[in-house]
């Protein structure tokens, strides 16, 4: 037995397992900021990655272009149909916007939860081990990105910023399994119904909107938006459409399956969204 413990290699192995467990525990802890070393390493890697990324994307883009060309005719036809509706919609939006502004002035309420500043960013990498779906984007704290900000594509909400370093940020997708991934949302209808997006059903590829009051009447196809009540997210970012509503395990609330509007796979460019209201509050504090 003493010989067993004198074995140098075994001791090294045991010590490194202990260090491993400690490090994993350390990284699982909710951290508000990465250590400077992590930030430095990340930015260096992201810098190199953006160099390698361009030719790689060029090659991939070539095949995509060929594919696009094949569908151009059909797409063109469909877009023309949409265009007519679009003109109508636009004039409606304009008049509503003006009315909204006028009413706001009457109320002397200048800011709304809906106002936001957009930061454009390019996706240059994705977590290759694919357990946790995260993206790496090329904008960081130097560009005004902060932890927990909402990240959208033109189709809809895709996730939130998980960690920031000066020149890059990691975006956690809505499909990631993480209990901290909680978003306050509402279902648009005659009467808006509020709930929390908690979790993702991998098999159905749907988000779970929980804590909906049991007596709320929800139909399939209703649209779901962020409510802006959770803190950092602005109001009115499109999340998806209701697919099915079921009672939860205790029958006290309902759970809605939401089909996300954005595609979580084919993402090249994203918009990081900075809410205006919060900024002004911060300025007041300063």
Partner 1 sequence: MSRLFLPSLVTVIFLLESIIVQLVSQPLFDVYLLVPRMLLVFIVFITIFIGQTEGMMYGFIFGLLYDVTYTELLGAYAFAFSLIAYLIAKAMNVLHKNAWTASFFAIVAIACVEWYVYAIQLVIGGTTMSVSTFFQARFLPTLFIHTIVILLIAYPLKQTLLKWHEKRDESSPV
Binding site for partner 1 (CB under 8 A): 13, 16-17, 19-20, 23-24, 26-28, 37-38, 41-42, 45-46, 48-49, 52-53, 56-57, 60, 123-132, 134-136, 162-163, 170, 177-179, 202, 265-267
Nearer residue to partner 1 within complex by CB, 45 or 277:
45
Nearer residue to partner 1 within complex by CB, 4 or 63:
63
* Nearest distance from C-beta of residue 220 to partner 1, angstroms: 23
Please classify residue 240 by burial: count the beta carbons closer than 10 Å to its beta carbon, then call 0-12 exposed, 13-18 middle and 19+ buried: buried
Are 235 and 116 within 8 A, CB to CB? no
Residue 111, Ramachandran bin (φ over 0: left; ψ between -120 and 50: alpha; else beta): beta
* Nearest distance from C-beta of residue 128 to partner 1, angstroms: 4
Nearer residue to partner 1 within complex by CB, 73 or 131:
131
Are 183 and 230 within 8 A, CB to CB? yes
* Nearest distance from C-beta of residue 205 to partner 1, angstroms: 9
Residue 200 — φ and ψ, nearest 5°?
Answer: -140, 130
* Nearest distance from C-beta of residue 166 to partner 1, angstroms: 14
* Nearest distance from C-beta of residue 268 to partner 1, angstroms: 9
Are 148 and 159 within 8 A, CB to CB? no
Nearer residue to partner 1 within complex by CB, 125 or 140:
125
* Nearest distance from C-beta of residue 221 to partner 1, angstroms: 23
Nearer residue to partner 1 within complex by CB, 165 or 254:
165
Helix boundaries (H) for the chain: 2-6, 8-28, 36-70, 72-107, 276-285
* Nearest distance from C-beta of residue 279 to partner 1, angstroms: 27
DSSP state of 234: P
Nearer residue to partner 1 within complex by CB, 173 or 237:
173
The length of the chain, given as a count of residues: 286
* Nearest distance from C-beta of residue 120 to partner 1, angstroms: 17
Beta bridge partners of 187: 193, 224
d(CA 254, CA 252): 7
DSSP state of 250: T
Nearer residue to partner 1 within complex by CB, 82 or 179:
179
Are 61 and 53 within 8 A, CB to CB? no
Q: Write b or e for each residue in 170-193: b if 16 or more Cβ atoms lie within 10 A of its Cβ, otherwise e.
A: bbbbbbbeeeebebbbbbeeeeeb
Cα-only R_g, the chain? 23
Nearer residue to partner 1 within complex by CB, 219 or 266:
266
């Amino acid at each position: 037995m003493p010989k067993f413990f004198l074995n140098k290699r075994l001791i090294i192995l045991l010590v490194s397992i202990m260090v491993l467990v400690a490090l994993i525990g350390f990284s699982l802890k909710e951290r508000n900021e990465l250590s400077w070393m992590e930030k430095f390493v990340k930015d260096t890697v992201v810098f190199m990655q953006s160099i390698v990324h361009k030719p790689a994307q060029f090659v991939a883009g070539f095949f995509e272009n060929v594919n696009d060309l094949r569908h151009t005719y059909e797409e063109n036809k469909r877009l023309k149909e949409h265009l007519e509706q679009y003109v109508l919609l636009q004039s409606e939006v304009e008049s509503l916007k003006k009315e909204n502004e006028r009413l706001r002035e009457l109320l002397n309420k200048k800011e709304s939860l809906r106002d936001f500043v957009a930061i454009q960013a390019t996706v240059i990498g994705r977590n290759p081990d694919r357990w946790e779906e995260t993206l790496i984007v090329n904008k960081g704290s130097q560009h005004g990105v902060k932890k927990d900000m909402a990240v959208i594509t033109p189709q809809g909400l895709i996730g939130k910023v998980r960690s920031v370093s000066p020149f890059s940020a990691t975006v956690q997708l809505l499909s990631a399994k993480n209990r901290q991934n909680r978003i306050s949302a509402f279902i648009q209808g005659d009467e808006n119904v509020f709930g929390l997006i908690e979790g993702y059903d991998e098999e159905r590829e749907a988000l779970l909107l929980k804590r909906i009051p049991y007596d709320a009447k929800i139909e399939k196809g209703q649209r779901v938006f962020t409510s802006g009540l959770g803190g950092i997210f602005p109001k009115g970012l499109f999340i998806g459409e209701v697919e099915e509503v079921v009672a939860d395990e205790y029958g006290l609330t309902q759970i809605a399956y939401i089909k996300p509007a954005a595609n979580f796979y084919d993402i090249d460019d994203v918009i990081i969204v900075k809410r205006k209201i919060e900024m002004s509050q911060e300025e007041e504090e300063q």
